[in-house]
Amino acid sequence: MNSLKVAIMMIALMALFVAVGYVVGGRSGMVIALVFAMVMNFFSYWYSDKVVLKLYRAREIQEQEHPRLYRVVKRVTTTAMIPMPKVCIVPSKAPNAFATGRNMNHAAVAVTEGMLEILNEEELEGVIGHEVAHILNKDMLIGTIAATFAGAIGILASIARWGAIFGGYGRSDERNGGAIGLLAAAIVAPLMAMVIQMAISRQREYKADRVSGLMTGKPLALASALEKLHRSPNRRAFAGNRATANLMIVNPLSGRGIASWFSTHPPLEKRIERLQELAKEAPYQSYVR
């Protein structure tokens, strides 16, 4: 059911992109938007992992460079029965982690130096389990494509806004609603794209938390790790950007007040509550913080 929901939301995001293209440039704008969407999908599929890793200056490591991290990743991926992904460390004190790659045969798990400093091995295993769950569910690709579309819709909305100011683009018989339509697209489209992206990300985060808890048998360790990462004073010092925030295990951006309504991550309290409920479903290994 969750996969069907995500598929529907991805189709809605693409349809919104094409619709904004139509508002901005009429039928020709719609065709251009559709072609651009296909190009973005191709680029996201083949190059998203390289772009994200370079953006965060992630460095691939070998076992001898960080035995504890490598050991945990190997243990979790063996349990999940997937190929060993690239293991990368991000030079940042902000505690966070993410997975990227187009499939389980071309995947990477990256953690920050700050996260390695504050988590014990069981908590680290819970976080790695969460990221491996994203690899199993192909969430990295979905999240990257969603972020790409959301960013492109924002660019089209800016074009629509300037078009409304200067009276629209294209010939009069190809404009849809003139300046009013352009202005509506400039205001409504980014909000709709943000809501769709948020819905995709939140569904994926809940599922990854649950899969990690079941796979490692330590849902309370993950709950403890999430709390530590969220409460860290360095959480929002991550040198990233809004477009890739949905890839992180905890939101590196501010999520207070109205901003929390549009957060790509579920509320911390809800995530911890679900993990605590999961711990009651089966006799998992006891975990002492």
**Among candidates 142, 106, 110, which has minimal Cα distance to 128?**
110
Segment 109-158, tens digit of pLDDT: 999 999 999 999 999 999 999 999 999 988 877 776 676 666 677 777 77
C-alpha distance from residue 204 to each of 171, 188, 271 (Å): 43, 25, 12
Catalytic residue, from 123, 131, 269, 281: name it: 131
Segment 177-191, tens digit of pLDDT: 456 666 666 677 777
C-alpha distance from residue 121 to each of 142, 167, 285 (Å): 29, 60, 14
Residue-by-residue DSSP string for 83-96: PPPEEEEE--SS--
What six digits make up the tokens of 129?
Answer: 């389990």
- Would the pLDDT of 176 be above 60? no
Element (H, E) at 107: strand 106-112
What's the pLDDT at 251?
82
Which strand ranges, in their side-by-side order, compose the sheet holding 86-90?
A: 59-60, 86-90, 106-112, 97-103
Segment 63-78, tens digit of pLDDT: 999 999 999 999 999 9
| 98: phi then psi, degrees, rounded to nearest 5 | -155, 165
Helix ranges (DSSP H) in the chain: 2-55, 67-80, 113-118, 121-136, 139-165, 178-216, 219-231, 268-281
- Would the pLDDT of 237 be above 70? no
Residue 63 among the catalytic residues: no
Q: Fill in the DSSP letter of residue 266.
A: -
**Among candidates 12, 27, 8, which has minimal Cα distance to 169?**
27
Confidence of residue 29 (pLDDT cuts 50, 70, 90): confident
Least trusted range by pLDDT, from 43-47, 59-63, 87-91: 43-47
Confidence of residue 229 (pLDDT cuts 50, 70, 90): very high
